[in-house]
Amino acid sequence: MTVPVVPGYCSSPCGGLSPQRHNRGGLRWLASTFAVLLALCLTVASAQCASANATVEAMAGQMLMLGFRGAEPADAGPILRSIAAGHVGGVILFDRDMDPSVRVRNIVSKEQLSRLTGALQAAAPVPLFIAVDQEGGRVRRLKPEYGFFAYPSAASLGKGSPEDTRRMASTLATEMAEVGLNVDFGPVVDLAVNPSNPVIARLERSYGSDPCRVASHAAAFVNGLAWRGVVASLKHFPGHGSSLQDSHLGVTDISSTWRREELGPYALLLRDDWAGMVMVGHLYNNRIDAAHPATLSQRTIDGLLRRDLGWKGVVVTDDLQMGAITARYSLDETVRLAVEAGADILLFGNNLVWDEGLAEKVHATLVRLVREGKVSEQRLRQSWERIMRLKSVLTVASPGAIAQGDSSGTAIAPVPAVPDPTGAPRPLRLTLPMPRGDEPLCRDRDTLQRDPFDDRQGARYGRGTGIGIGVGTGTGIGIGQ
């Protein structure tokens, strides 16, 4: 049994065990037992000292997810080198490049994609997040012309049963796992409360306008993905459904359109500690944070999402190269504010604006901000532990098996579990409970329709605490009972 050496982890020898010479059967048994105990000892030792010994460079690398050009390993040299150096902890794949002169981005066929993901994982010292946007309908990177199934839109699925959604998602996850993909940036849990919304409702990306129905279908989608070990990401917090603009183009101001009911699906889905992500959108709401959009807002991420809704898992930003961010913030400001806000993974699609050296540039920026004292090392450690904990549930297919089309999912390079600050083990699961019709949120429809910032209405969401985020004199967002 081989125990991987993970950069940033320490290991201590596990002495005192030596197989004795007995009969051959006993020797084999002792050797096998020794190997198991040694592996267990090293894993436990690694977990115990992981948090204290991870370097700033290692932690910063795990917090970065980048896009890149190249469909074959031979064409993806820069990103492979960044991955091997530990400067990138995840990648996002696209089927087309925004530059029309670039004919091929990352996805051409199942066979090609398997070769690419195999090379990416083989280069990674720690299992790599390999993500795509595969919602179904019009937002899908895995298309029939590349050999994949055509999946229905969320709007179409929302008219049927959650069980149908689960079955569809399990088929989708099977295809993803077969080609080495382990993160899906879906499901969308935005409510279709604005039928003219250019980026949600018009593209049929929402399961509907009812929070409980959306939550039920989203849970089914998450559980379908979990069947093959694919990690889901709910998006776009705190709710993109009421917006009037597309955040790819500029700041999306939802201050006057956002409704409290848009938090409903999150309140139902984030009550439990499960292995997933929440993607925060470039959504500006001056009643929550008058200074920054949600992706860069501590009040939104650490306040509303973590403190009030109780989310303990990984938070990923939407693409930080979107116009909503680049038009207003420098790279230094973007990285610093996102990390200070509580984001764990900084996503740079590197597609809207191409920069071959972006991975090294962003990594160096984050490390420098820590060295200069502008971002605390402890803040990086918090994100690193969340990411390592999520990666501990990944099953990564062997690169050789992937290249040969074997989808058995042989586990390699497991990540030692990182204990929480109390030292208690906290096993994660990929699935989450389906919302029930008798949930308080589902019963009290009137509550969901009231003014989202009138705390005199006594808002109730889920089972969290009754803490609110102050956003001005006499206003607040009440979350809890």
Q: Is 355 a catalytic residue?
A: no
The DSSP output letter for 186 is -
Domain 55-403: CATH class, spelled out: alpha beta
Identify each DSSP E strand in 321-450 by its residue range.
346-348
> Of these residues, 133, 184, 318, 344, which one is catalytic?
318
Handedness of CA 139, 219, 257, 295 (dihedral sign): negative
Please tell me the least confidently modeled range out of 74-83, 100-109, 244-253: 244-253
Q: Which helix (H) or strand (E) holds 135?
A: strand 134-136
Strands 346-348 and 64-66: parallel
3-state secondary structure of 288: coil
From 254, 163, 155, select the one nearest 206 (Cα to Cα): 155
> Of these residues, 248, 332, 406, 455, which one is catalytic?
248
The two tokens of residue 14 are 């596990």
The two tokens of residue 237 are 């917090």
pLDDT more than 70, % of the chain: 73
The two tokens of residue 124 are 């990674």
Query: What is the band of 53 on the pLDDT scale with cuts at 50, 70, 90?
Result: confident
Q: How far apart are CA 358 and CA 400, in angstroms?
A: 29
Q: How far apart are CA 76 and CA 79, in angstroms?
A: 6
* Mean model confidence pLDDT for the chain: 80
**Residue 136 β-bridge partners:** 139
Q: Which helix (H) or strand (E) holds 72?
A: none
pLDDT tens digits, 66-93 = 999 999 999 999 999 999 999 999 999 9
pLDDT tens digits, 333-382 = 999 999 999 999 999 999 999 999 999 999 999 999 999 999 999 999 99
Predicted structure pTM score = 0.81
Mean pLDDT on 34-39:
40
Q: Is 248 a catalytic residue?
A: yes
The two tokens of residue 254 are 């939802």
pLDDT at 1: 32
CATH 3.20.20.300 in the chain, residue ranges: 55-403
> For residues 88 and 363, is the Cβ–Cβ distance under 8 A?
yes
For tokens 């390592």, what's the residue? 388
The verdict on whether omega for the bond into residue 238 sits within 30 degrees of 0, i.e. cis, is: yes
